[in-house]
């Protein structure tokens, strides 16, 4: 029997995502000038106010207030009527030095024996239902908001959009787990004030269906067949959405971990990513397990794979590695036997994850909106400045955990 599955996304202007982007901008700036920086930085945003808190061990000094303002400006909070504006918001920093008790469990005389920055379990997931091996409902939810943000910045076809937005896509699946069609789309977008509310609602719904949806179908032709005349659209279902962003809701780092990962598919260990340097396995091991799952599926091991890894704080070797194929395995091995082979292919000690995926580089700002997984790897040059005028240009690889660079090794190990 067919069934429905739903995933959601939020825009870069959503309060929680503002917080994530500020935290990750701080990470990038610290790593740009000191690649060994240890950082755990949380951000809170509310009406006219940003609060930074956390622990840092680094050789560099940064103007954290200016970094936060630059992020807010880039997102689009540049007008006083938003009640949260880049140049005028107050910024309080309560960042202090990292605990030596934690640091002694991470740093080792031999780098290879670097301990995990915390205990816990992390998950990576991949499915072959999309070209980027991501769950389709989440991929579509992200795509809707990326294109909505493009429309906002173009300010031509739709001129009233503000930065805060959410999306949600419900798919109908066949009983053999194949996506058949889009059943429902929910979009709530912040907007400028209108003179008349009913006319406002009508125009926003009409614009999003007649302008946004065709752009999605054109930009993502692989999804065009899923759109149909029976889709139920809920566009700004509560009505007026003028008060938004941090003025409408307080935002905090790490509150959108399902949006950041797999939209409810697979599993999640509970740890957030943004604001953490890669010694924190909440982040680095989650990337590494995604890398494993994606390469396994791409190699033809299974149609769908979930990888779990777990750690003890201060201990390098994982306490467990487990692979689940959901009964879709294409090889004549049990999931337990697949797990043992994976251990021989991918070294999951924290230092080796950092080296394999090049995680001690300033690559994190780009992850902080529209998902950490399923993105396109690319090489870019980024420029950073310190308060004393020092400038550094750094060429980095983004989204290294999305590379299919282990497919041949996996095939060889499994005799494919």
Q: Which residues are annotated as a binding site for ATP?
A: 14, 164-166, 240-241, 249, 255-256, 272, 276
Annotated binding-site ranges for Mg(2+): 16
Which residues sit opposite 5 in a β-bridge? Answer: 171
Nearest-angstrom CA–CA distance, 405 and 299 = 10
What is the C-alpha R_g of the chain? 22
> Taking a C-beta distance cutoff of 8 angstroms, is the pair 85, 45 a contact?
no
SS3 assignment, position 96 = strand
3-state secondary structure 229-284: CCCEEEECCCCCCCCCHHHHCCEECCCCHHHHCCCCCCCCCCCCCCCECCCCHHHH
Place of tokens 């999605």: 216
CA 197/CA 228 separation, integer angstroms: 28
- Return the H-helix or E-strand segment holding 181: strand 179-191
Written in H, E and C, the secondary structure of 285-352 is HHHHHHHHHHHHHHCCCECEEEEEEEECECCCCCCEEEEECCCCECCCCCHHHHHHHHHHHCCCCHHH
How many Å separate Cα 258 from the centre of its chain? 9
Cα separation of the two ends of the chain: 34
> What residues contact 232, with CB distance under 8 A and at least 6 apart?
183, 184, 185
Alpha helices in 34-135 (DSSP H): 64-75, 100-106
Written as six digits, the tokens of 6 are 């739903």
User: Could you give phi then psi for residue 100, rounded to 5 degrees?
Assistant: -65, -30
Tokens 């390098």, residue?
A: 316
Using DSSP's 3-state secondary structure scheme, residue 253 falls into coil
* CA distance readout (Å), 204 to 153, 183, 190, 233, 239: 17, 20, 10, 12, 10
Name the binding residues for L-methionine: 55, 98, 249, 280
The backbone torsions φ and ψ at residue 71, rounded to the nearest 5 degrees and listed phi first, read -65, -45
Q: Could you count the other beta carbons within 10 Å of the beta carbon of residue 264?
A: 16
Annotated binding-site members for K(+): 42
Binding positions are: 14, 16, 42, 55, 98, 164-166, 240-241, 249, 255-256, 272, 276, 280
């Amino acid at each position: 029997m067919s069934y429905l599955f739903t995933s959601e996304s939020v825009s870069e202007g959503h309060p929680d995502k503002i917080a994530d982007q500020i935290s990750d901008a701080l990470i990038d700036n610290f790593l740009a000038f000191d690649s060994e920086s240890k950082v755990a930085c949380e951000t809170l945003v509310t009406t006219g106010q940003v609060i930074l808190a956390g622990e840092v061990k680094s050789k560099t000094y940064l103007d954290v207030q200016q970094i936060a303002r630059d992020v807010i400006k880039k997102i689009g909070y540049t007008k006083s009527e938003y009640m949260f504006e880049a140049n005028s918001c107050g910024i309080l920093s309560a960042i202090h030095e990292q605990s030596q008790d934690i640091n002694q469990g991470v740093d080792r005389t031999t780098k290879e024996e670097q301990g995990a920055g915390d205990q816990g379990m992390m998950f990576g997931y991949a499915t072959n239902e999309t070209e980027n091996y991501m769950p389709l409902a989440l991929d579509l939810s992200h795509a809707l908001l990326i294109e909505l943000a493009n429309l906002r910045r173009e300010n031509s076809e739709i001129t009233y959009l503000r930065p805060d937005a959410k999306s949600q896509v419900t798919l109908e699946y066949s009983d053999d787990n194949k996506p058949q069609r889009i059943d429902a789309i929910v979009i709530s977008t912040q907007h400028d004030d209108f003179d008349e509310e009913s006319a406002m609602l009508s125009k926003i719904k009409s614009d999003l269906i007649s302008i946004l949806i065709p752009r999605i179908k054109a930009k993502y032709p692989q999804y065009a067949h899923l759109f149909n005349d029976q889709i139920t659209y809920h566009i700004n279902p509560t009505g007026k959405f003028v008060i938004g962003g941090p003025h409408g809701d307080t935002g905090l780092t790490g509150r959108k971990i399902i949006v950041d990962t797999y939209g409810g598919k697979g599993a999640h260990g509970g740890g957030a990513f943004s604001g953490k340097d890669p010694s924190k396995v909440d982040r680095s091991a989650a990337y590494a397990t995604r890398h494993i799952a994606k390469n396994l599926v791409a190699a033809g091991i299974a149609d769908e794979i979930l990888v779990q890894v777990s750690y003890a704080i201060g201990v390098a070797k994982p306490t467990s590695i487990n692979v689940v194929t959901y009964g879709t395995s294409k090889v004549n091995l049990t999931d337990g036997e697949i797990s043992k082979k994976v251990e021989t292919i991918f070294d999951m000690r924290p230092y080796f994850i950092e080296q394999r995926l090049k995680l001690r580089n300033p690559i994190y700002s780009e992850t902080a909106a529209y998902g950490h997984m399923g993105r396109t790897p690319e090489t870019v040059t980024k420029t950073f400045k310190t308060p004393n005028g020092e400038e550094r240009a750094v060429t980095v690889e983004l989204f290294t955990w999305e590379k299919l660079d282990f497919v041949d090794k996996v095939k060889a190990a499994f005799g494919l």
